[in-house]
Amino acid sequence: MRVLRFLAGLLFVAAAAGLAFAVSDYRLFQLTTVAVYAVAILGLALVTGFNGQISLGHGAFYAVGAYVTAILMAHYGVPYWATLPASAAICAALGFLIGLPALRLGGLYLALTTFALAVATPQLLKYHAFEGWTGGVQGLVLDKPDPPPGLPLPLNADQWLYLCTLGVSAVLFLLAANLVRGRIGLAMRAVRDHPLAAEATGIDVALLKTRTFAVSAMVTGVAGSMGAVAVGFVAPDSFTVMLSITLFVGLVVGGVASVAGPVFGGAFIAFLPNIAEDISKAAPGAVYGVVLIAFMFLLPSGVAGGLGRLLRRAARRPA
């Protein structure tokens, strides 16, 4: 089953990579966005889905990742790929630090604390003391990275960026899948399902929670970095509290405790606004809401959960 799953993942990534040569640049840009959102939701899934801590503030880590990349690229001329480790490190550290006090607060209180973080982020980004770096309200404009010369295939900037994003995303998903399946993943779920029992078996609950939060912030931060380059622009208005909520919506729609779920969630939050707007320009928000409610009724455990149920039913049926 494990090998099968790995192969399925590999096949999916290969097919996705093939799309780079089959669809228009605009569609590639959209798919890049889907991959970015998927990774951002993956980060959220680690902490909320597998560790049971509700975070409504992951847009903040996404923003920090985006700004780290933007500042390094715009002010220091660092190449795109080199900003990813920096952004990962900074977001992980930030996640750990914020996790320290925040995670002492359980459940709804943590949700509110992280929500406050998300509310504060755009204003902090506008704060004039950082303006030299962040560009203030104006934001920073980034150059789209060109593909390196001497590639066996001639790629344009959109194709190159898509493939880069896809590659990084695939690695992050693989790492997350391993983490979740292993000993630590088991501990994470134990803490989620029964913290007292987990503590009794010798798990340091507070430390594990904080570390999970750090890893989660790191993953979402890297997504922010990739998103900043894909869009080519960062500004405080890109990272409002709606971003955090949107990520949360994607998480729930995709499937909360699932590694594959964020892919569906990413596609959902990337495409639904367009579909909603096509249906009604007067009230896209209402259409969005109706679709969301319909999803919750039809697929209460998210797309990944629903698919899993279908697969299991198909497997049970005699051939």
Answer yes or no: are the C-beta atoms of 113 and 91 closer than 8 Å. no
Report residue 306 as tokens.
Answer: 């629903």
Binds another protein (CB under 8 A): choice among 277, 279, 292, 306: 277
Nearer to another protein, 173 or 288 (CB): 288
Minimum distance of another protein from residue 87's CB (angstroms) = 17
Residue 47 DSSP one-character state: I
205 binds another protein per the rule CB under 8 A: no
Q: Nearest 5°: CA angle at 250, between 103 and 97?
A: 25
Minimum distance of another protein from residue 120's CB (angstroms) = 9
Minimum distance of another protein from residue 149's CB (angstroms) = 20
Binds another protein (CB under 8 A): choice among 2, 76, 123, 317: 123
139 binds another protein per the rule CB under 8 A: yes
Nearer to another protein, 117 or 214 (CB): 117
Q: Rounded to an integer, what distance in angstroms lies between the CA atom of residue 94 and that of residue 274?
A: 33
Sign of the Cα pseudo-torsion (224, 227, 231, 237, in order): negative
Q: Segment contacting another protein (CB under 8 A): 119-127, 186-194, 250-258, 305-313?
A: 119-127
232 binds another protein per the rule CB under 8 A: yes
Q: Which of residues 4-43 bind another protein (CB under 8 A)?
A: 19, 22-27, 29-30, 33
71 binds another protein per the rule CB under 8 A: no
DSSP string, 91-122: HHHHHHHHHHHHTTS-HHHHHHHHHHHHHHHH
Count Cα neighbours of 165 within 13 Å in the Cβ-side half-sphere.
32
Q: Rounded to an integer, what distance in angstroms lies between the CA atom of residue 220 and that of residue 69?
A: 13
235 binds another protein per the rule CB under 8 A: yes
Q: Rounded to an integer, what distance in angstroms lies between the CA atom of residue 228 and that of residue 69?
A: 7
Q: Rounded to an integer, what distance in angstroms lies between the CA atom of residue 79 and that of residue 184?
A: 34
Q: Segment contacting another protein (CB under 8 A): 1-9, 104-112, 237-245, 259-267?
A: 237-245
**Site of interaction with another protein (CB under 8 A):** 19, 22-27, 29-30, 33, 123, 126-128, 136-139, 141, 227, 231-233, 235, 237-238, 240, 242, 273-274, 277, 281-282, 284-285
